[in-house]
Structure 1
Amino acid sequence: MSANSDLALDKGNREPKFNWFKIDVRAYTMIAALFSIWVLFSLLHERFLSATNLSNLFLQMSATAIMAIGMVLVIVAGHIDLSVGSLVGLTGGIAAMLNVWYDWPTVPVILATVAIGAAIGFVQGWIIAYRAVPAFIVTLGGMLMFRGILFGTSGSVTIAPLSPSLKTVGQAYIADLIGWIIGIVALAFAAYLAIRKRNARARYGFPVEPLAVSFLRITVMGILILGFVYLMNSYKGIPVPFIMVVVLAFVFTFIAKNTTFGRQVYAIGGNPEAARLSGINIKRRVLTVFVLSNTLAAIAALVLTARLNAATMSSGQNAELDAIAACVIGGTSLMGGSGTIIGAVIGALVMASLDNGMSLMNMESFWQYIVKGAILILAVYVDIYSRQRKKQA
């Protein structure tokens, strides 16, 4: 037997080894950055990590996180949506008009608002996908139009107050017992997913981390989840908007990673020509992405309007920039083809933490714009640098 065949046999019999040093650098960098921000502001202000302030922080980030979830799909598909901020203002204004001026009950208001968001997404997506008008132009026009429609239909006045039942969408809290049940269920589900992923890797012969490492990972996850529930229950409970963020994040993570539609969206953003040659209906997928994005913008509008107990003319202004920044900071590439829902949610939490911390410090508002802009540039730089390194490797 030749030396080459001996070497091949040796490789075939070799057990796959877990690489202890192979980690998701970008994911851990984002978590470390968030942790560093929290530590810094807790040292500068003793109230930052209090249950009251953290509860307000999760409330504040909810609308941005919901918009960012939809924006991830748009950016991954190789497009951009500049209209979601004005769409939040318009749909939030419509919800308030129906509720305050026409006395619509809460459920019909919610259904009508979400339906209007989906319809607008269909129109914008159809123009982009089937008439080949650049998304930048279509959504830029939408940004101007939606804000103008809001001014015209509302008479440029603040619409308030909302009915108590509609306010619960943005202001309610989960009872303590239900919070503990949700926490335990979330921990059990996370452990199930971790074990399932580990068994799947072992079944197909991929390197598997030691069982002790998996157990440690689940333990840390349990401490974080149950610690979060305990902290929130020490104030008023888990905010309902944050529960909505978590549910939407899980649903859209599943769509992105475990469905044909999700994989095709990533393929379209990664290599449109290869996606077309493989038989993917690119136009239909792009249309669906914009419908989902604008539907989520309408849900974010409900959360924001309910939290403020009013629809204002400035509602949602520059929110599209916060959503895009959350996605990019969370690791979504503006080149398309890569990005995660969880990363976008973490990015939204980073943005909200900066705003919240600097507000507690009574810093001038211009510093918030400077710091967030600098972080956004740094995130894009890291993305481009990492792509160049991969090409060189």
Structure 2
Amino acid sequence: MTSTKPSSDSKGPSTESAPAAALHVGSGDPRTLIMNNLRQSGIFVALVVIVALFAFLTDGLSLSPGNITNIVLQYSYILVLAIGMVIVIIGGHIDLSVGSVVALTGAVSAVVVIRQGQPWWMGVVAALVVGLAVGAWHGFWVAYVGIPAFIVTLAGMLLFRGLTLRVLDNISLSPFPAEYNRIAAGFLNGLIGGDGYDAFTLLIGAIAVAGYVVSCFRTRVARIRYQQPVESFALFVARMALVGAVVMYFAWQLAHARGLPIVLIILAALVLAYGMLTRRTVFGRQVYAIGGNLPAAMLSGVKVKTVNFWIFVNMGFLSAVAGIIFSSRSNGAQPAAGNMFELDAIAAAFIGGAAVTGGVGTVVGAMVGGLIMAVMSNGMQLMGVDQSMQSVVKGLVLLVAVAFDVYNKRRAGAGR
């Protein structure tokens, strides 16, 4: 009786079990493995290095409980924009209008709540409706008319900035009622006690770490099952430990300040939801397919126009969320609100590993990229660095991040 077990020199596909196959996953050229591991884990290492650097340069002030809380409050809206922007970039597009949309949605909310005297939640609803309408406007021109997103959103940047001025009559509106202000400036604390610290904040931090570890482990097992390359197990464990330590230190500092910011809960919910959307849903896979290889996606039956339309509707929605948070944080609406926010969001996505050509990027990576920008900006402010020099440093960091992506692609192409 002839055995069906393939010989060791067989050229056909292997039938070995997944655990056995896992022994071969990740083997190959050491330089390739190093580059792959750098791409997967380098952004986390970079964040830790930058945090440590500014802690040293500011004599620990950047890691004080009060300052860490301020970083969350001051940059949360940029992180919200980065979630939407990375999806836009994965799809092979760009959105230059998000700063103007932040200003417009905040202005609409202020008119409804402050000028018209409506309940605070009516302002939130009005802002979200306007954001969705703006996203649909952009999506129509990009998806169904075929105008490049760069041009459409550049026009939108001018259009919606002008509408903001008209809505506000060129004046600022303030203040919002306390309930609205609590969205970006409120805290949850004292729910389960703690002697000199907020135990609830530590509990949430521990749950977040556990969820992250479980998610990463499941992703690793799935990649091994399908014989896809993964980082070494030692590096995987080291990354889990590093992320866990950073998150728990972060939670510890928040627990010794004012507790858990409400805006951080909103941001965490968005990260979880959009992480699932991009990794676990048909829509998410189609966005990657369109950005990675548009002709192949079309031949595979992906409804490219529909997906592109909803990419921009989603960006409009998240711009409205950021507008609500920013206006709540500012306790008012200003005609110049949101200026240059789009550049910070784009920088966060690219620093976090998104590719300039589309098809590559993650929500978590965009969050880490945004945190790198936030820590850098905050650290330089604490050091008294001039605003012009801050712009120079951030521009150089963005350039290096994109150059690293281009270098990786060239190396990968040369290895084929």
TM-score (norm 1): 0.92
Q: State the match for 2:283 in structure 1.
A: 261
Which one of 226, 243, 261 corresponds to residue 248 of structure 2?
Answer: 226
Q: Deviations over 1:257-299 (max 9, x none)?
A: 1111101111101111111111110000000000001100100
Q: State the match for 1:16 in structure 2.
A: 22
Q: Deviations over 1:55-99 (max 9, x none)?
A: 111222211110010011111111111110100011111111111
The alignment covers a number of residue pairs equal to: 391
Indicate if the aligned counterparts of 2:140 and 2:309 stay in contact, CA closer than 8 A. yes
Residue type of the alignment partner of 1:137: I
Indicate if the aligned counterparts of 2:41 and 2:239 stay in contact, CA closer than 8 A. no
Instruction: Provide the secondary structure at the position in 1 that maps to 2:260.
Output: coil
Indicate if the aligned counterparts of 2:80 and 2:322 stay in contact, CA closer than 8 A. yes
Give the distance between the partners of 2:399 and 2:320, measured in 1 at CA: 28
Give the distance between the partners of 1:387 and 1:205, measured in 2 at CA: 22
Residue type of the alignment partner of 1:16: A
Give the distance between the partners of 1:209 and 1:80, measured in 2 at CA: 31
Q: CA deviation at 1:34?
A: 1.8
Q: CA deviation at 1:33?
A: 2.1
Q: State the match for 1:378 in structure 2.
A: 400
Q: CA deviation at 1:192?
A: 3.0
Indicate if the aligned counterparts of 2:21 and 2:224 stay in contact, CA closer than 8 A. no
Q: Alpha carbons of 1:27 and 1:8: their partners in 2 closer, same or farther (altered >3 Å)?
A: closer
Q: State the match for 2:102 in structure 1.
A: 88
Q: State the match for 1:159 in structure 2.
A: 173
Q: State the match for 2:46 in structure 1.
A: 33
1:236-275 alignment runs, 5 A limit: 236-275=258-297
Instruction: Provide the secondary structure at the position in 1 that maps to 2:133.
Output: helix
Instruction: Provide the secondary structure at the position in 1 that maps to 2:187.
Output: coil
Q: State the match for 1:347 in structure 2.
A: 369
Indicate if the aligned counterparts of 2:113 and 2:122 stay in contact, CA closer than 8 A. no
Indicate if the aligned counterparts of 2:352 and 2:365 stay in contact, CA closer than 8 A. yes
Which one of 63, 67, 89 corresponds to residue 77 of structure 2?
Answer: 63
Instruction: Provide the secondary structure at the position in 2 that maps to 1:79.
Output: coil
Q: State the match for 1:179 in structure 2.
A: 201
Give the distance between the partners of 2:301 and 2:245, measured in 1 at CA: 46
Give the distance between the partners of 1:319 and 1:390, measured in 2 at CA: 33
Which one of 119, 125, 131 corresponds to residue 139 of structure 2?
Answer: 125
Residue 324 (1) aligns with residue 346 (2):
yes
Indicate if the aligned counterparts of 2:185 and 2:262 stay in contact, CA closer than 8 A. yes
Residue 137 (1) aligns with residue 151 (2):
yes
TM-score (norm 2): 0.87
Q: Alpha carbons of 1:311 and 1:244: their partners in 2 closer, same or farther (altered >3 Å)?
A: same
* C-alpha RMSD of the superposition: 2.5
Instruction: Provide the secondary structure at the position in 1 that maps to 2:9.
Output: helix
Instruction: Provide the secondary structure at the position in 2 that maps to 1:7.
Output: coil
Q: Deviations over 1:203-229 (max 9, x none)?
A: 556788898877666555444333322
Which one of 5, 9, 28 corresponds to residue 7 of structure 1?
Answer: 9
Identity %: 36
Name whichever of 282-291 and 92-101 sits farther off.
92-101
Residue type of the alignment partner of 1:270: G
Give the distance between the partners of 2:307 and 2:51, measured in 1 at CA: 39
Q: CA deviation at 1:179?
A: 2.1
Give the distance between the partners of 1:385 and 1:206, measured in 2 at CA: 22
Q: Alpha carbons of 1:371 and 1:201: their partners in 2 closer, same or farther (altered >3 Å)?
A: closer
Instruction: Provide the secondary structure at the position in 2 that maps to 1:267.
Output: helix
Give the distance between the partners of 1:207 and 1:63, measured in 2 at CA: 35
Q: State the match for 2:193 in structure 1.
A: none
Name whichever of 15-24 and 71-80 sits farther off.
15-24
Residue type of the alignment partner of 1:36: V
Give the distance between the partners of 1:254 and 1:281, measured in 2 at CA: 21
Q: Deviations over 1:279-338 (max 9, x none)?
A: 110000000000001100100011111111111122100111111111111111121111
Q: CA deviation at 1:177?
A: 4.1
Q: CA deviation at 1:191?
A: 3.6
Indicate if the aligned counterparts of 1:27 and 1:343 stay in contact, CA closer than 8 A. no
Give the distance between the partners of 1:388 and 1:69, measured in 2 at CA: 27
Residue 149 (1) aligns with residue 169 (2):
no
Instruction: Provide the secondary structure at the position in 2 that maps to 1:98.
Output: helix
Q: Alpha carbons of 1:206 and 1:117: their partners in 2 closer, same or farther (altered >3 Å)?
A: closer
Give the distance between the partners of 1:391 and 1:212, measured in 2 at CA: 28
Give the distance between the partners of 1:62 and 1:109, measured in 2 at CA: 20
Instruction: Provide the secondary structure at the position in 2 that maps to 1:24.
Output: helix
Give the distance between the partners of 2:224 and 2:252, measured in 1 at CA: 36
The gaps in structure 1 that reach 5 residues or longer are none
Give the distance between the partners of 2:199 and 2:342, measured in 1 at CA: 36
Instruction: Provide the secondary structure at the position in 1 that maps to 2:75.
Output: helix
Give the distance between the partners of 2:64 and 2:38, measured in 1 at CA: 30
Q: Alpha carbons of 1:179 and 1:265: their partners in 2 closer, same or farther (altered >3 Å)?
A: same
Instruction: Provide the secondary structure at the position in 2 that maps to 1:103.
Output: coil
